[in-house]
Chains A and B, each alone.
Chain A
């Protein structure tokens, strides 16, 4: 194990300068979850237009892994179709389970989080935002949106 594998520059950059970290007024999808082990929390706001994720933002507090993962996620799924975003969420979880080899094309910066797999206790941190996104998107099309849940 080497700390360089987990604290890569791109992760620290997203942690220190998070992208799309703001509330999204009028977002029809909004979901919140926390990690009861550590208190990390993420709220994801999404605006869906014509089956595409037009805009995604997040709010939250937590460690560098949970917050950078959320920041990268917003960049990765903005503009994608709802189905593609859900597929990516599935692939990301697969990568964190050590089952999916990430491809640069769909993963982009997210590849940087692969090193977290070596730190099993931190995997939940990386996956938190994606679980919330999945919940939010699962609510797409329903009038009330997704219900909050805990991981």
Chain B
């Protein structure tokens, strides 16, 4: 069947993803877990393989042709990422091994350089643990205090108390752009303006936002933004951190080692300028090259189309889940949320549900989604989560709903 959801030719897209032809037992794979990791089109797999086949060398080191080609591919990937995020120049992009490393770099590299006793860091209750735990670690070292923007019953940020939470004591606001547990999209520009008004910086965990929505870091006016490649069709261990020149220069490196130094002496070292001072050791070079291929793929689809498809399939999934009697956690309006849909189906525990759905070939996530504060806020230890991407069809949502019947027949 053809499925032209939101301006994407989904059937044509599916042909680019080799894994989508496999089966689970005797069932076709229905992969609804892209918020955990996305699949890779052959263009990405091929780009990574081609790097190893033809150009493999260490970047910024080899005084030979392969070294030059590897450096060119690696730096070309940086320019691609900069273009994708609307960043003014490639040097505002630090490559990391994913958003967890990016947020740790922010919390350590920026936090230790700028935070002290009495300072505050403002985050939200819907953060992924990778934007909570690094700040707790930094708070323990610097004496800074962590404060939280609470959530409304509908799964939105409760900004009614923002005036008392965001004060001249706040030095940085660090928020997700799109919740992996609730789907909620954060009003980033509003928070950026509010943060800047009190002299604070704003950092964004865009692990979910970057794969699913156009991003323009200048229009959003954010100071730092971390993202991860494997959730946006790229290889694992690819990703990075955008930062303004001023903010990146003010940060301490997190990993000392090869290639991040300018000169090493017995008692101290001098560092390269950003972004290179943050890229100690051999980086995942082939993976960042693969990420650039993933971005080329997404840009060819058009990120506005990717977002439109997501909105449409999320609307369909929400309607069908609610009709089936599921309880959905997070906003019900697809225009203000992403495609990670957290739910409970009647009294069936999410783990049992995941096991039963797997038997039908349907892959979902069950658990706390590394967002225990959000789970606790809504009084559940775990949820089931279906999440969508460019290759998902409404027929796959139907397969999910059909599989729920099986759960009902076992636990009903």
B351 CB contacts on chain A under 8 angstroms: 38, 40, 62-63, 65, 122, 125
Q: Which of A1-9, A46-54, A69-77, A78-86 contacts B (4 or more CB under 8 A)?
A: A1-9
- Determine if A135 is an interface residue (Cβ-Cβ < 8 Å): no
- Determine if B58 is an interface residue (Cβ-Cβ < 8 Å): no
- Determine if A41 is an interface residue (Cβ-Cβ < 8 Å): yes
Q: Which of B349, B372, B375 contacts A64 (CB 8 A)?
A: B349
B372 CB contacts on chain A under 8 angstroms: 39
- Determine if B171 is an interface residue (Cβ-Cβ < 8 Å): no
Whether A39 lies near B367 (C-beta < 8 A) is: yes
Shortest distance between the CB of B258 and any CB in chain A (Å): 35
B356 CB contacts on chain A under 8 angstroms: 3, 7
**B window 368-407: CB within 8 A of A:** 368, 372, 375, 381-382, 406
Whether B381 lies near A12 (C-beta < 8 A) is: no
Whether B410 lies near A3 (C-beta < 8 A) is: yes
Whether A64 lies near B25 (C-beta < 8 A) is: no
- Determine if A151 is an interface residue (Cβ-Cβ < 8 Å): no
A64 CB contacts on chain B under 8 angstroms: 349, 352, 411
Q: How large is the interface on A (under 10, 10 to 19, 20 to 34, 35 or more residues)?
A: 10 to 19
- Determine if A97 is an interface residue (Cβ-Cβ < 8 Å): no
Interface of chain B, main secondary structure: helix
Residues of B in contact, count (CB < 8 Å): 18
Query: What is the bound-complex CA distance between A12 and B347, given in angstroms?
Result: 12
Shortest distance between the CB of A100 and any CB in chain B (Å): 23
**B window 324-363: CB within 8 A of A:** 349-352, 355-356, 359
Whether B382 lies near A12 (C-beta < 8 A) is: no
Whether A39 lies near B355 (C-beta < 8 A) is: no
Query: What is the bound-complex CA distance between A24 and B57, given in angstroms?
Result: 65
- Determine if B35 is an interface residue (Cβ-Cβ < 8 Å): no
- Determine if A61 is an interface residue (Cβ-Cβ < 8 Å): yes
A39 touching B410 in the complex, CB below 8 Å, given contacts A3-B356, A61-B381, A62-B349? no
A122 touching B355 in the complex, CB below 8 Å, given contacts A3-B410, A39-B375, A64-B349? yes
Query: What is the bound-complex CA distance between A61 and B216, given in angstroms?
Result: 43
A41 touching B410 in the complex, CB below 8 Å, given contacts A65-B351, A119-B355, A125-B351? no
Q: Kindly name the residue among B351, B352, B367, B368 whose own CB sees the greatest number of chain A CB atoms within 10 A.
A: B351
Whether B352 lies near A38 (C-beta < 8 A) is: no
Which 7 A-B pairs have CB atoms at the shortest separation, nearest pair first? A39-B381, A63-B351, A63-B349, A39-B382, A38-B367, A39-B368, A64-B352
Q: List B residues at the A interface (Cβ < 8 Å).
A: 25, 349-352, 355-356, 359, 366-368, 372, 375, 381-382, 406, 410-411
Q: List A residues at the B interface (Cβ < 8 Å).
A: 1, 3, 6-7, 12, 37-41, 61-65, 119, 122, 125
Interchain residue pairs with CB less than 8 A apart (18)? A1-B359, A3-B359, A3-B410, A7-B356, A7-B410, A38-B350, A38-B366, A39-B367, A39-B375, A39-B381, A41-B381, A61-B381, A62-B351, A63-B349, A63-B350, A63-B351, A65-B351, A122-B351
* Other 20 A-B pairs with CB < 8 A, given A3-B406, A125-B351: A1-B359, A3-B355, A7-B352, A7-B410, A12-B411, A38-B351, A38-B381, A39-B367, A39-B368, A39-B382, A40-B381, A41-B381, A61-B381, A62-B351, A63-B350, A64-B349, A64-B411, A65-B351, A119-B355, A122-B355
